[in-house]
């Protein structure tokens, strides 16, 4: 005979169930809060360290470019800076440097990055800038931040996935210290390693690290890029069609650009097995091309030429000259980045082609900068956010269209051969494919 407890059937079970659910929610929220506090502290520390390194690099590389532009005879020392670059890398037993590709693999947990990469790429990039090599700084910034973060993660005994988040934090902070675009920098570090899969777990750490880096770089006078902004463009059907056509051109240009960069690297490596001879030949070739052009405006990062294009002025062949010089610089083995040259090529191309399509040259240069960047690095979310942080939100819808079209039509080409596509660009099907 069953014992009567005086309770309705199922009442105790229901109360216990509510208690269980409530308890689970408390534990759930407590674990999230604990995780948040842990990564808040980590990202503040790492953002400070990487932000300081990024700000120092920003100031040093910027000074190097300014020194070259006021002392253009420094191009005569380009062969010596090339030989010195090879010597310091080999002196520290770095014989096969893969640059940013190694950092991207580290962000996916497939590789480790040595701490010695940071001072090496810092020094080598400044050598390239001060003697007139055509390269940027952002690829170097990613390597600096990523290698510092990877080192600290190993020393702290972190797991593989924690180190991935650390690397994303470091990349965000140093990238932001150069560009001054904290939101785009945070998303870029999460989006660039595995295209089609955004590691949202790194959003809070990367965002906080970017904000810290921005505060540090601004306080040290190392401000990001600031450009003139085009006025609001009318949302007319014909303008949407014109921007779509320009975005398609930019996608095809990104394919050409990435292909030529990689072809140049393979050519120099095949023809000159000795790295000293390779970079020496490249240095003399760069000097010859510069003298034939009769202008030093295309050497170094070329930020001043980007500003001119975004003011509506660019020579018809500016993007071709910059592409040629960047091919030789990167192919020969000089160190630096490819993103600022990408922005240079995109902005000048847009400024020239835009008026032919009936687009204001200033606005077309902005579209060109964003479109070629997106096609070359396959980061549409970053590109859209970058457009807002650089040019404001007046023409946001056109930049969104540009990024979408350029991303799809650029195929599986990339500036970074270490980049991996995790999803198809055409249909929602997951797969893994390395970039061309």
In a domain, 18, yes or no: no
Q: Mark whether 277 and 401 lie in a shared domain.
A: yes
pLDDT at 12: 54
pLDDT at 1: 43
Residue 360 has pLDDT above 80, yes or no: yes
Q: Mark whether 253 and 162 lie in a shared domain.
A: no
- Of the residues 219, 249, 269, which one is the last residue of a structural domain? 219
Q: Mark whether 198 and 312 lie in a shared domain.
A: no
Query: Which residue stretches of 1-137 are H helix?
Result: 11-70, 78-91, 100-107, 117-130
What CATH number should be reported for the domain holding residue 206? 1.10.3080.10
In a domain, 157, yes or no: yes
Average pLDDT over residues 176-205: 89
How would you class 221 by CB atoms within 10 Å of its CB: exposed for 0-12, middle for 13-18, buried for 19 or more?
Answer: exposed
Domain that holds residue 352: 237-434
Of 50-54, 85-89, 236-240, 249-253, which range is least confident? 50-54
d(CA 387, CA 396): 7
Percent of the chain with pLDDT over 70: 93
Identify the three-state secondary structure at position 257: helix
Contacts of 156 (CB under 8 A, 6+ apart): none
Average pLDDT over residues 277-297: 96
Of the candidates 263, 276, 284, the residue with the CA atom closest to the CA atom of residue 331: 263
Q: Mark whether 150 and 287 lie in a shared domain.
A: no
- Of the residues 171, 188, 219, which one is the last residue of a structural domain? 219
* Whole-prediction pTM: 0.91
């Amino acid at each position: 005979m069953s014992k009567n407890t005086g309770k309705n059937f199922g009442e105790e079970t229901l109360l216990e169930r509510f208690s269980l659910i409530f308890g689970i929610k408390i534990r759930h929220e407590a674990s999230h809060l604990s995780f948040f506090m842990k990564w808040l502290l980590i990202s503040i520390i790492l953002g400070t360290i990487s932000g300081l390194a990024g700000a120092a690099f920003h100031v040093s590389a910027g000074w190097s470019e300014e020194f070259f532009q006021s002392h253009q005879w420094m191009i005569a020392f380009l062969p010596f800076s090339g030989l010195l670059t090879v010597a310091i890398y080999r002196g520290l037993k770095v014989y096969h440097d893969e640059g940013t590709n190694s950092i991207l693999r580290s962000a996916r947990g497939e590789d480790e990055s040595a701490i010695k990469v940071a001072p090496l790429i810092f020094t080598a990039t400044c050598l390239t800038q001060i003697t007139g090599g055509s390269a940027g700084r952002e690829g170097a910034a990613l390597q600096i931040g990523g290698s510092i973060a990877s080192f600290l993660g190993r020393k702290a005994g972190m797991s593989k996935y924690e180190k991935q988040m650390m690397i994303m934090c470091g990349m965000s902070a140093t990238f932001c210290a150069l560009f001054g675009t904290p939101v785009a920098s945070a998303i870029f570090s999460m989006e660039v390693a595995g295209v089609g899969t955004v590691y949202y777990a790194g959003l809070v750490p990367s965002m906080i690290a970017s904000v810290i880096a921005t505060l540090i770089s601004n306080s040290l006078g190392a401000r990001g890029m600031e450009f003139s902004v085009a006025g609001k463009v009318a949302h007319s059907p014909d303008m949407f069609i014109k921007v779509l056509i320009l975005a398609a051109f930019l996608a095809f240009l990104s394919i050409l650009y990435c292909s030529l960069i990689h072809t140049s690297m393979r050519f120099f490596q095949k023809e000159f097995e000795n790295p000293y001879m390779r970079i020496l030949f490249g240095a003399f070739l760069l000097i010859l091309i510069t003298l034939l052009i009769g202008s030093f405006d295309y050497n170094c990062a070329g930020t001043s030429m980007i500003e001119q294009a975004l003011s509506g002025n660019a020579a018809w062949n500016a993007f071709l000259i910059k592409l040629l010089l960047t091919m030789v610089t990167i192919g020969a083995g000089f160190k630096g980045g490819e993103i600022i040259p990408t922005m240079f090529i995109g902005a000048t191309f847009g400024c020239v082609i835009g008026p032919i399509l009936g687009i204001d040259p200033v606005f077309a240069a902005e579209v060109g900068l964003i479109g070629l960047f997106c096609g070359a690095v396959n980061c549409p979310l970053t590109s859209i956010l970058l457009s807002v942080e650089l040019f404001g939100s007046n023409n946001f819808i056109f930049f969104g269209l540009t990024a979408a079209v350029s991303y799809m039509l650029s195929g599986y080409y990339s500036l970074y051969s270490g980049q991996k596509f995790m999803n198809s660009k055409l249909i929602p099907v997951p797969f893994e494919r390395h970039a061309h």
